[in-house]
Amino acid sequence: MRNIINSIEDKDVLSFLEYLKYERRLSVNTIDSYGENLLLVSKYLNKDLINATRDDIKNFFDNFDGDVKTKAHYLTVLNSFYKYLLFMGKCSINPCDGIKHPKLSKKLPEYLTGEEINKLFDIRLTKPIDYRNKAMLEVLYATGTRISELINLELNQIDFDECIIRVTGKGKKDRIIPIGDTAMDALKNYILNYRIFLVKTNDNNYVFLNKNGSKISRQGFFKILKGLAFDAGIKKDISPHTIRHSFATNLLNNGADLRIIQELLGHENLQTTEIYSHLTNKKIEDDYQNHPHANN
């Protein structure tokens, strides 16, 4: 991971990225992505972005040869940049005004059925890493945490008596999530009986460790999850986020309020959470099509 702020020469772009870092508290990856996008547009236009006109920006998008999703991302980044400049009084117009945002087809999130969850979680427990994997899966499904929140979980963020975990999400915002008995039992069993075989130094407080005693990486767990899915005979292309989607979908299917799910997932806007209501509506439609009189 690199920090692009250190290589920015355009003072306006640098100021914007520092705003994203210190005021918006966005992740390094997000800031790098924004910075790289802005630098590419500036290079294409062969001028500083503060001097770009509407025709310049329109010309950039007219000749854009990326996919629709990438094009939409560039427009979002540029809009954010120019709105920041307007707010700071550094420009008088937003050259992105009048450029239509590309329409993105809403892809419903992939999730696992109860049967698939049971297959995935049916791990043969023989080694310490097996118990770690089991605990990670159980906690993911029981809490709906992001993978970044899970791998950064530390021992002092777990309250065994209250059966809750405290996680730090996007924008450095903390939230408290209840955790059920099954997941808590798997977590406690791993920490008390098997984590000791992975620890190399006493000052390592991360819960989930790899074979070298370091915090397990996103890529490391992604690879583990792919292997477990293959062993379980699951054909879907799953990721840790699939487990998060499964958590939310299961809650909604069992009558949970959408705002409660929003709080548990750490979504800033309810609109983000509403995708799951579309997903459950799709399931209702699919189930109805199986009714013998559905097509009469």
183 touches 141 (CB < 8 A):
yes
Nearest to 37 by CA among 70, 9, 83: 70
Contacts for 233 with CB less than 8 Å, ≥ 6 apart: 119
Catalytic-role residue among 132, 195, 244, 245: 244
C-alpha distances in angstroms, 76 versus 33, 65, 70, 99, 223? 12, 17, 10, 11, 32
Q: How many CB atoms lie within 10 A of CB 11?
A: 11
Q: Which of 170, 175, 226, 283 is the catalytic position? A: 170
Residue 1 tokens read as 């991971």
Task: List phi, psi (to 5°) of 178.
Answer: -70, 150
- Catalytic residue list contains 244: yes
Q: Is 278 a catalytic residue?
A: no
Active site residue 276: yes
Q: Where does residue 209 rank: exposed (0-12), middle (13-18), buried (19+ CB within 10 A)?
A: buried
Instruction: Tell me how many degrees the CA angle 4-6-11 measures, rounded to the nearest 5.
Output: 95
**Annotation marks residue 267 as catalytic:** yes
Which one of the listed residues 58, 73, 241, 283 is annotated catalytic?
241
Any catalytic annotation for residue 195? no
Does the active-site annotation cover 190? no
- Please tell me which residue in 132, 134, 146, 245 is annotated as part of the active site: 146
CA distance 33 to 55: 24
- Active-site residue, selected from the candidate residues 84, 141, 194, 276: 276
Catalytic machinery residues:
146, 170, 241, 244, 267, 276
